[in-house]
């Protein structure tokens, strides 16, 4: 294998390793060069890899699940679902590709997306019929092609599923008071994330899976069943769960055996002796791991990929994550090196192949959702490395570095990477991380152990579990394999709450153009409770008091709706396969959707933190402290969308007004107030699957969606502009409100109590490349991150690409089709994003020197 | 020149305070730009720092005009005699009659949109120290501190000397000064007493050429640099290399000889900086013209190549620590 490296060094014009400890290759070897990997095989595979999430619709899964349900009409929902996954795993088409060393997919060809009718089939069929699924002006990216045959086969299933979906049940559980402010109404909050797909958002306990293997899991289920006393009704329920679990388990074993058989057949007809040998080994790997614990790094990695694919096949959930990869894989790495089973280079090549396999997977999304979540692919396959182990020691090892190198070598958007840092993190890892970030692809994100672990303890997570936390999906820390976290289940636009708080519960743009006019405004009603009118308020305390009451009210509505969705999942879509691999479900005899695993949360986010903070600050300063305008004048200006109030618009957007993000206590304290208010009415409220709610403080990209629904706001935002992103400062069409540079941002943002947002926080930084250039720039950047960590900021992500480059890419997408940038929570090909989102990224303040 | 505020307290006139500066001294630094400079280099990229008193910058594109706004006129105490004028009522081009302005700057405070900006705000010692101290955790992590620059900080040497002393004695913060160093030696001594690293410019080694370029001869500058070296100051020398102005090998060799002979072991690094055409917009706002507006420099690739060639020449002939640009780490 060192021949490969020599070959690369000889042929490559790319820079050689740039750090002394990078003995073989550094991230510098890749940068933005063609053929970025040192492995010719990987470069060959990359050549055939689509740099897009456009795909096609596959009908097989939907048909097989439907057949399973029809074949077992009298069975309980759990058992029907178990037959569903079993049918798919045993019958869906499988694919093996040239050069590849890992197998596994979603039961269709690369970039294909299966359909999950359990969460609604009508929208899929309607979009196909109305031209909203394929390429059109409405859908210029993330579009899905389909054949006439596919459409016909799916159309034939329409009646079977109509009226039996999660959404149908949710509608029956709540009333209009709950829905009026939701995604179905005025969009104060959204709870639709899990109405049209599975909850996802979890990782597995890979160590448990490695220890037991699928055969061991089967035995565990059988042992539990043997103890059942059917005369006890509680045990009878558990018995039914075990029946379902056994069916699903059998399906998973057979699925892997199918691959083994197919690989062996392929090997038999392959002439090239090298490839023949590889295929034979892959067949042997699959055959063994179909029932037994893996023995080598290759087998373990193969099992990880297949297990995650099967979860995605069962349920269309987002953010099925890869846990702490460098922890659970390290024993295999060490074993292989020590026994000479594999070299470091061979394992590096496997990891790189594995990344591309993840990127090849795809998920069907509606034309609306891809506007704000563009280029996501399956979305959220996060892999975590580094950090403290269960004894509190830093566990960084070779694999930690190899995971970062692999990203530099393949540069595909998935998997997402998270590096955990603490006081104990070695400086070499910080340099490796900084250098990877400086490539500009937006990977990896940085998570702070010193905040996250204590934060998890407040959610009653055990210390040794908390120390092994993974980053799930975009932002959310949890214990892989032991948490059904319902992270990202919903989100609340705090800026809209402020609007209702200063306008007596009425929307500022109330009028006949509103879809709810007939039911609401026309009848003299208001969207929210009457809690005060800024024009009549005599002190700023009244503003805060009104905000508090509105926040309480809207949090109640959101929690109600999320619990309804939760109940619908339990009734309609139990997850028997997932339940076999999540900790505790078999022991308890309870499906994961019903709270079978150890930790059960629901995590909705607060949106528009900066917009809300700046709004409060503007009101306090201009109306009450300086009395430059009256409350009426300010409300009028916003109602008029600032037209005719230009000087006030400019003033509100200028640095003459206290703004969040400038290390200015005046605005920062009010922003903290807003965040605390949201957390207060979310945290520790009971949820429907046996756990409780956890607040988060990040937007990913829904700040664009919420902004699209909201009229102008007092912070100087015009109508329908995005609200502020994540924990970041405000940037409006007029200008950015943070003007004091990165140190001020670091200090402002860390005045918030990140640990209180137990579902996670996020700060997106954007640097111009020159701000982090050279050794001086690199070390200053590391110092800035260290300080953010020391000040108890939880999580940071970075975009290091100039505004100029982004604008050029927007104008000339063909030339910039490989430009990978950080969106929020994830990285994506910039030109594949919707223009609104592109503009939002361009608008974020670029930190310059 | 010593400035005082209305209460008679000494103040510094500062045009800008940059946090997270990483190229003017080691580590992460906060940099204070003092106003006033005795040189008149045509390529100056911070022209707002040249004149020693506050000035109003006018940014017409950010002005909404008299009819929509006019908040500046409402606040001007001179009323109908206000030196602020608009070409016509709906024209968006404000003009300030600078000679007639009494310098209360109320118009700048009133301007909501950034059409007017004050270059040169007054800061008392307490305010300066508070600003210097606010990012100390970043300095400690990186060996950073404060940098005083300008303009030429020596134009306000009394304040600067006091400020750097307080940074050392009260705050224990690393200090760095960047100066043109055209000043009496005792002024320099007063500031150097609390300077951990000095950054000096040498733009031309030939005094007549220097005078032609920057308006002043260079003897005093070179004497001061040699003196600073002699008393053990750690020194970074910077030469902005402007093609056609000071980029001859002869000039670079001359500077190199001076550095070898007169700075010797006190040199930390000599930095050859690439010329960039900056400062045009700021000059516009001040109602002055960029002296090099017709000048078209060679491409940045060519300039970079030239700097690298000069660097290699100097290091092989003179054995001096020389760098292209200022983003490398300073050697300890």
List, for residues A547-564, the tens digit of each pLDDT value.
999 999 999 999 999 999
For residue A2, what pLDDT is reported?
Answer: 44
B21 at the A interface (CB within 8 A)? yes
In the predicted model, is pLDDT for residue B263 greater than 50? Answer: yes
- Chain B residue at shortest CA distance from A740: B19
Size of interface A-B (CB pairs under 8 A): 80
Q: How far apart are CA A73 and CA A795, in angstroms?
A: 48
Q: Give the pLDDT confidence score for residue A849 in this predicted structure.
A: 37
Tell me, yes or no, whether A7 and A26 share the same domain: yes
Q: Flag if A774 and B69 touch (Cβ within 8 Å).
A: no
- Residue B314 to chain A, least CA–CA distance (Å): 22
Answer yes or no: do A363 and A405 share one domain: yes
Strand partners, A798: A765
Q: What is the mean pLDDT of residues B95-113?
A: 89
* Whole-number Å distance between alpha carbons of A402 and A326: 9
C-alpha torsion B106→B109→B114→B120, nearest 10: 80
Chain A residue numbers with beta carbons less than 8 Å from the beta carbon of B68 are 646-647
Q: What is the pLDDT of residues A347-380, one digit of tens each?
A: 999 999 999 999 999 999 988 888 777 777 888 9
> pLDDT over 90 for what percent of chain B?
70
Residues A690 and A631 in one domain: yes
For A805, how many CA atoms within 13 A lie in the half-sphere containing its CB? 18
Contacts for B130 with CB less than 8 Å, ≥ 6 apart: none
**How far is residue A469 from each of residues A204, A429, A450, A578, B231, measured CA to CA in Å?**
12, 19, 12, 19, 57
Q: Indicate if A601 and A579 belong to the same structural domain.
A: yes
Given a contact cutoff of 8 angstroms between Cβ atoms, the answer to whether B221 and B205 are in contact is no
Tens of pLDDT, residues A439-452:
888 899 999 999 99
- Rounded average pLDDT over A104-123: 95
Distances (CA, A) of A179 to A171, A430, A679: 9, 47, 22
Mean pLDDT of chain A: 92
pLDDT-based confidence at residue A33 (cuts at 50, 70, 90): low
Interface check B19 vs A, CB under 8 A: yes
So what's the pLDDT on residue B61?
A: 82
Instruction: Name the residue range of residue A16's domain.
Output: 2-47
Q: Give strand ranges (E) for A244-401.
A: 320-321, 382-386
Label residue A529 by pLDDT band (50, 70, 90): very high
Q: Quick one: A406 and A339 in the same domain?
A: yes
If you average pLDDT over every residue of chain B, what do you get?
92
Task: Say if residue B278's pLDDT is above 90.
Answer: no
Q: A741 with A785, same domain? A: no
A400 and A530, same domain (yes or no): no
pLDDT tier for residue B91 given thresholds of 50, 70 and 90: low
Which pLDDT does position B326 carry in this prediction?
A: 81
Give the position of tokens 């023995």.
Answer: A295
Cβ of A779 and B142 within 8 Å?
yes
Instruction: Give the domains, in start order, of chain B with CATH numbers.
Output: 3-53+122-324 (3.20.20.70), 55-119 (3.30.70.20)
Is residue A775 domain-shared with residue A640, that is, in the same domain?
Answer: no
A275 assigned to some structural domain: no
- Same domain membership, residue A604 and residue A492: yes
Helices (H) and strands (E) in chain A, counts: 34, 19
> Does A433 share its domain with A560?
no
| Tally of CA atoms within 13 A in the half-sphere of B124 that contains its CB | 7
Give the pLDDT confidence score for residue A1 in this predicted structure.
38
User: How confident is residue A595, by pLDDT bands cut at 50, 70 and 90?
Assistant: very high
Residues on A contacting B at a C-beta cutoff of 8 Å: 646-648, 650-651, 654, 656, 663, 740-744, 773-777, 779-780, 783-784, 786-787, 790, 847, 849
Contact list, B22 vs chain A (CB under 8 Å): 776-777, 780, 849
Q: In chain B, how long is the greatest CA-to-CA distance?
A: 67
pLDDT confidence of B90, banded at 50, 70, 90? Answer: low
**A728, A757, A786: which is the final residue of a domain?**
A757
Taking an 8 Å cut-off on Cβ atoms, the answer to whether A663 and B329 are in contact is: no
Within-domain flag for A364: yes
In a domain, residue A245? The reply is no
The answer to whether position A418 is within a domain reads yes
Question: Which tens digits make up the pLDDT trace of A732-785?
Answer: 998 889 988 889 999 999 999 999 999 999 999 888 787 787 788 888 899 999
Contact call for A776 and B327, based on CB within 8 A: yes
Using CA atoms, how far apart are residues B315 and A50, in angstroms rounded to an integer?
Answer: 49
Residues A498 and A642 in one domain: yes
Domain end (from A705, A732, A757):
A757
Range from A140-154, A624-638, A776-790 carrying the lowest mean pLDDT: A776-790
Do A597 and A742 belong to one domain? yes
Residues ≥6 apart with Cβ < 8 Å to A667: A613, A614, A617, A658, A659, A660, A661, A748
- Of B114, B50, B16, B48, nearest in space to B280 by CA: B48
- Is the Cβ pair B138, A743 closer than 8 Å? yes
Domain final position from A715, A730, A757 = A757
Q: Is residue A438 part of a domain?
A: yes
The pLDDT value recorded for residue A846 is 66
Evaluate whether residue A707 is within a structural domain: yes
The pair of three-digit structure tokens given for residue A265, joined into one six-digit string:
């057949």
A848 min Cα distance to partner chain B (Å): 9
pLDDT (mean) for A208-227: 98
Q: Is B90 on the interface with A (CB under 8 A)?
A: no
Question: In residues, how long is chain B?
Answer: 332
- What's the rounded mean pLDDT across residues B153-173? 97
The answer to whether residue A556 is domain-embedded is yes
Instruction: Kindly determine whether residue B328 and residue A774, on different chains, have CB atoms separated by under 8 Å.
Output: yes
Query: Which range (A407-411, A418-422, B252-256) has the least confidence?
Result: A407-411
pLDDT (mean) for B81-110: 81
Name the band, by pLDDT with cuts 50, 70 and 90, for residue A28. very low
Q: pLDDT, tens digit, for every residue of B26-42?
A: 999 999 999 999 999 99
pLDDT tier, A825 (very low <50, low <70, confident <90, very high otherwise): low
SS3 A412: coil
pTM exceeding 0.90: yes
Cβ-based burial of A23 (10 A; exposed 0-12, middle 13-18, buried ≥19): exposed
| pLDDT over 60 at A3, yes or no | no
Distances A348 to A28, A32, A329 between C-alpha atoms, Å: 16, 19, 12
For an interface test with B, give the residue of A19, A618, A626, A647 to mutate (most B CBs within 10 A): A647
- pLDDT category at A147 given cuts 50, 70, 90 is very high
Chain A residues near residue B135 by CB distance under 8 angstroms: 743
Contacts of A708 (CB under 8 A, 6+ apart): A720, A722, A836
Number of domains in chain A: 3
- For residue A646, give the nearest of B23, B64, B135 by CB distance: B64
pLDDT tens-digit profile of A43-102?
999 999 988 889 999 999 999 999 999 999 999 999 999 999 999 999 999 999 999 999
Is residue A481 within 8 A of residue A206, CB to CB? The reply is: yes
Going by C-alpha positions, the residue among A490, A437, A545, A469 that lies closest to residue A765 is A437
Output the pLDDT for position B288. 87
Residue A137 inside a domain? The answer is no
Residue-level pLDDT at A824: 66
Closest partner CB to B22 (pick from A650, A787, A849): A849
Contact A348, A228 (CB under 8 A): no
**Which residue is listed with tokens 């003092």?**
B34
Contacts of A773 in chain B (CB under 8 A): 327
């Amino acid at each position: 294998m060192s021949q490969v490296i020599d070959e690369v060094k000889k042929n490559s014009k790319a820079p050689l390793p740039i750090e002394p400890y990078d003995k073989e290759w550094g991230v510098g070897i890749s940068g933005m060069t063609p053929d970025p990997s040192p492995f010719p095989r990987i470069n060959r595979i990359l050549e055939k890899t689509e740099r897009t999430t456009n795909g096609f619709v596959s009908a097989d899964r939907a048909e097989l699940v439907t057949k399973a349900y029809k074949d077992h009409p009298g069975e309980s929902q759990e058992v029907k679902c178990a037959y569903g996954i079993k049918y798919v795993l045993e019958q869906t088409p499988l694919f093996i590709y040239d050069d590849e060393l890992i197998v596994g997919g979603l039961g269709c060809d690369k970039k294909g997306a299966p359909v999950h009718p359990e969460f609604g089939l009508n929208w899929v069929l309607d979009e196909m019929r109305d031209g909203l699924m394929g390429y059109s002006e409405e859908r210029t990216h993330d579009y899905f092609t389909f054949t006439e045959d596919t459409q016909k086969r799916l159309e034939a299933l329409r009646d079977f599923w109509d009226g039996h979906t999660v959404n149908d049940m949710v509608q029956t559980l709540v009333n209009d008071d709950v829905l009026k402010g939701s995604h179905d109404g005025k969009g104060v909050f959204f709870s639709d994330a899990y109405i049209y797909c599975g909850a996802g958002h979890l990782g597995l306990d890979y160590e448990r899976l490695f220890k037991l293997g699928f055969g061991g899991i089967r035995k565990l289920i059988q042992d539990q069943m043997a103890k059942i006393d059917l005369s006890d009704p509680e045990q009878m329920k558990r018995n039914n769960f075990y029946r379902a679990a056994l069916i699903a388990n059998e399906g998973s074993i057979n699925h892997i055996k199918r691959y083994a058989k197919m690989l062996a057949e392929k090997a038999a007809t392959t002439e090239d002796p090298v490839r023949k040998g590889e295929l034979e080994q892959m067949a042997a790997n699959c055959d063994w791991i179909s029932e037994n614990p893996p023995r080598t790094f290759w087998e373990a990695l193969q099992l990880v990929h297949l297990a995650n694919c099967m979860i995605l096949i069962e349920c269309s959930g987002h953010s099925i994550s890869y846990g702490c990869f460098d922890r659970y894989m390290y024993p295999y790495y060490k074993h292989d090196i020590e026994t000479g089973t594999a070299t470091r280079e061979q394992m590096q090549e496997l990891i790189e192949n594995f990344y591309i396999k993840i990127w090849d997977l795809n998920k069907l999304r509606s034309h609306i959702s891809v506007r704000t979540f563009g280029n996501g692919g399956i979305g959220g396959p996060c892999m975590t490395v580094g950090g403290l182990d269960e004894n509190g020691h830093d566990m960084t090892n070779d694999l930690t570095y190899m995971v970062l190198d692999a990203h530099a070598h393949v540069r595909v958007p998935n998997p997402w990477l998270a590096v955990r840092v603490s006081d104990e993190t070695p400086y070499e890892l910080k340099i490796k991380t900084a250098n990877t970030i400086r490539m500009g692809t937006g990977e990896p994100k940085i998570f702070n152990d010193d905040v996250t672990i204590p934060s998890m303890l407040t959610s009653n997570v055990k210390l040794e579990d908390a120390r092994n936390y993974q980053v799930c999906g975009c932002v959310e820390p949890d214990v892989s394999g032991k948490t059904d976290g319902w992270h990202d289940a919903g989100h609340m636009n705090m800026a809209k709450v402020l609007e209702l708080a200063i306008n007596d519960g009425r929307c500022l743009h109330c009028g006949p153009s509103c879809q709810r006019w007939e039911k609401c405004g026309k009848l003299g009603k208001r969207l929210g409770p009457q809690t005060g009118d800024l024009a009549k308020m005599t002190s700023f305390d009244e503003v805060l008091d009104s905000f508090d009451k509105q926040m309480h009210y809207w949090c109640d509505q959101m929690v109600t709706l999320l619990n309804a969705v939760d109940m619908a999942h339990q009734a309609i879509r139990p997850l028997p396969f997932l339940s076999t691999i999540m900790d505790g479900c078999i022991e308890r005899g309870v499906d994961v959707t019903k709270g079978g695993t150890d930790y059960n949360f629901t995590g909705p986010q607060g949106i528009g933190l900066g917009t809300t903070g700046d709004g409060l600050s503007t009101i306090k300063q201009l109306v009450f402290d300086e009395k430059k305008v009256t409350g009426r004048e300010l409300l009028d200006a916003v109602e008029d969308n600032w037209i005719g109030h230009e000087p006030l618009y400019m003033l509100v957007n200028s640095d003459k007004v206290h703004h969040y993000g400038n290390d200015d206590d005046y605005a920062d304290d009010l922003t903290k107030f807003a965040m605390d208010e949201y957390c207060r009415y979310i945290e520790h409220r009971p949820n429907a699957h046996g756990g409780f709610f956890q607040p988060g403080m990040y937007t990913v990209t829904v700040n664009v969606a919420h902004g699209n629904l909201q009229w102008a706001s007092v912070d100087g935002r015009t109508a329908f502009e995005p609200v502020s992103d994540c924990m970041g400062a405000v940037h409006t069409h007029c200008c950015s409100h943070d003007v004091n540079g990165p140190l001020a941002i670091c200090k402002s943002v860390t005045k918030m109590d990140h640990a209180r947002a137990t579902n996670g926080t996020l700060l997106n930084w954007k640097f111009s490349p020159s701000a982090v250039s050279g050794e001086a720039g690199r070390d200053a950047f590391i110092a800035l991150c260290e300080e953010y960590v020391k000040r108890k900021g939880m999580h940071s992500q970075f975009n290091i690409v100039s505004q100029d480059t982004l604008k050029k890419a927007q104008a000339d997408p063909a030339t910039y089709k490989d430009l990978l940038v950080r969106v929020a929570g994830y990285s994506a090909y910039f030109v594949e994003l919707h223009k609104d989102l592109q503009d939002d990224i361009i608008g974020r303040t670029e930190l310059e020197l | 020149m010593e400035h005082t505020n209305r209460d008679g307290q000494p103040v510094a006139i500062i045009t800008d305070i940059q946090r997270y500066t990483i190229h003017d001294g080691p580590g992460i630094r906060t940099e204070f730009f003092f106003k006033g400079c005795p040189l008149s280099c045509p390529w100056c990229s911070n022209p707002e720092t040249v004149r020693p008193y506050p000035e109003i910058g006018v940014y017409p594109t950010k002005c909404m005009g008299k009819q929509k706004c006019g908040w500046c006129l409402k606040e001007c105490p001179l009323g109908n005699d206000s030196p602020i004028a608009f070409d016509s009522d709906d024209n968006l081009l404000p003009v300030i009659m600078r000679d007639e302005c009494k310098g209360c700057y109320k118009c700048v405070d009133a301007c909501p949109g950034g059409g007017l900006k004050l270059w040169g705000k007054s800061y008392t010692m307490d305010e300066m120290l508070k600003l210097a101290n606010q990012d100390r955790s970043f300095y400690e992590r990186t060996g950073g501190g404060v940098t005083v620059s300008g303009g030429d900080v020596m134009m306000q040497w009394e304040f600067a000397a006091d400020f750097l002393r307080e940074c050392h004695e009260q705050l224990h913060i690393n200090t760095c000064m960047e100066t043109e160093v055209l000043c009496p030696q005792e002024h320099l001594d007063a500031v150097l007493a609390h300077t951990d690293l000095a950054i000096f410019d040498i733009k031309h080694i030939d005094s007549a050429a220097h005078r032609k370029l920057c308006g002043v001869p260079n003897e005093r500058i070179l004497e001061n640099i040699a003196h600073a070296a002699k008393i053990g100051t750690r020194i970074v020398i910077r030469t902005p290399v402007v093609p056609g102005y000071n980029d001859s090998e002869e000039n670079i060799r001359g500077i190199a000889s001076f550095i070898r002979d007169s700075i010797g072991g006190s040199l930390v690094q000599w930095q050859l900086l690439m010329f960039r055409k900056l400062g045009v917009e700021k000059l516009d706002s001040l109602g002055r013209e960029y002296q090099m507006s017709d000048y078209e420099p060679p491409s940045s690739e060519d300039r970079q190549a030239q700097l690298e060639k000069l660097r290699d020449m100097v290091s092989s002939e003179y054995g001096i620590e020389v760098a292209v640009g200022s983003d490398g780490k300073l050697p300890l």
